[in-house]
Homo-oligomer: A and B are copies of this chain.
Amino acid sequence: MRMLRMRSKPGYLTQVKQSNMSAVLKSIWEFEPISRVELVERTDLTSGTLTNLTQDMIRGGIIRESESSHGSVGRKRMLLRLDTENYRIIGIDIGRNAFEVVLTDLAGRVIAASEGSTAGMDNPDSILDLITPSVQKMKALSSDSGNKLLGIGVSIPGPMDMQQGILLDPPNFPGWEQYPVRAELEKRMEATVLINDDARSSAFAERWFGLGRTTSHLVHITMGIGIGGGVVMNGEMLYGANGLYGQIGHITVVHNGEPCACGNLGCWETVGSIPGIMRNWTDGHGKTIMNFFEAVQRNDREAARTLEYTLSILTDALTNLFNVYDPDVIVMGGKLYPYLSRYMPEIRKRVQSRVYPFVRERVRIEASTFGTSQSAVGAAALIFDRLMREPLDMIGLS
């Protein structure tokens, strides 16, 4: 809606152009297919400026023209849309026991994927040695098909210094403290690398490639070994004062509950995560979460009791999220979610009975769009997010 105005300052023109191009590109993403006339309306740019910017982006290969099928008689109306085919993005999800690498187009469609186990490994260099061949293969796939690689996004357990690209002190992730993962990957891959924690990356996947197309307020929950969150309000990911905004796994749901690795007591993560459920299941020693849900299916009494407790805590937690963030939709993913999905119709009913009456009918809880690949696709979404914000730099048009 706004543009910067010229001023005699070095780099200022480029900054103006970047900001204007970002505004145009976001509008094309949101409203495609869209005409130049509509874009002038939406961005408040002059039609001359708009024509130049769209020309640059067409030349750069990130948008394209298509003819309207509803054009008026005797005159073809040219519409603009994102060109998702010229560029590719690589997304890498580095988890505590496994990794996944995906190659996507600019719509977040997965063109190739590869995964592997890192169980028992605690040397980041060795883990990157293991991942590198998959990434190289994706790079080759991309160039073989004539595409340019826009960049490499990485999802990894937090907390981290995103600007510096360095992990801080991630719990249950030995060996990675202070590891400069971004610099190391940039050196190995000769590409732009961005990192974010897996919970926020997963939310970015939803924001750009999933339900975020139709809503601007969403909460994404990643449930697995831990419980993480990413919160998008008014279309923007929120980080808070210390990068801790959305630590939803660390809401106390059990008063005077068990100590959590984060320092708090009775966190949702202590009872609602995979390890939390296994601790609550008195027969769980030496068994897996799959064994637990099998026991539930066999109507095992202890397993049923533990499940009911898990679901009642989940109901509390989801209700809390509606009351603190008031999202249009809560999106759920992570390794635990596939086991929970069959109970969601029941959970939705319970949550509906707990929120403010006037929003009951608006309670929307959905499965994450990319299932178990959410975090890897989200890593790719980090690069897409940068493209939306800084297209000139990302495409090298300046």
Residues of A within 8 A of B (CB): 1-5, 7, 19, 40, 44-46, 159, 168-169, 215, 217, 233-234, 238-248, 250-256, 262-266, 312-313, 316, 319-320, 322-328, 353-359, 362
Contact = CB atoms under 8 A, between A and B. Distances in A.
17 contacts: A1-B4, A5-B45, A159-B356, A217-B240, A244-B323, A247-B326, A250-B323, A251-B324, A252-B253, A253-B255, A255-B255, A262-B323, A263-B353, A263-B355, A264-B354, A265-B354, A324-B325
A247 B325 CA distance: 8
A252 B316 contact: yes
Contacts of A245: 233, 324-326
A238 B231 CA distance: 13
Contact of A7 (B46, B247, B319): B46
Contacts of A323: 244, 247-248, 250-251, 262, 264
Nearest to A353: B263
Nearest to A249: B323
A252 B356 contact: no
A327 B241 CA distance: 6
Copies in the complex: 2
The 7 closest A-B pairs by CB, nearest first: A240-B326, A244-B326, A2-B2, A245-B326, A247-B323, A250-B323, A252-B316
A134 to B, nearest CB: 33
B44 A324 contact: no
B46 A5 contact: yes
Contacts of A215: 241
A328 B278 CA distance: 36
A326 B242 contact: yes
A314 to B, nearest CB: 12
Contacts of A251: 251, 320, 323-324
A359 B262 CA distance: 11
B356 A262 contact: yes
Nearest to A168: B358
A157 B339 CA distance: 42
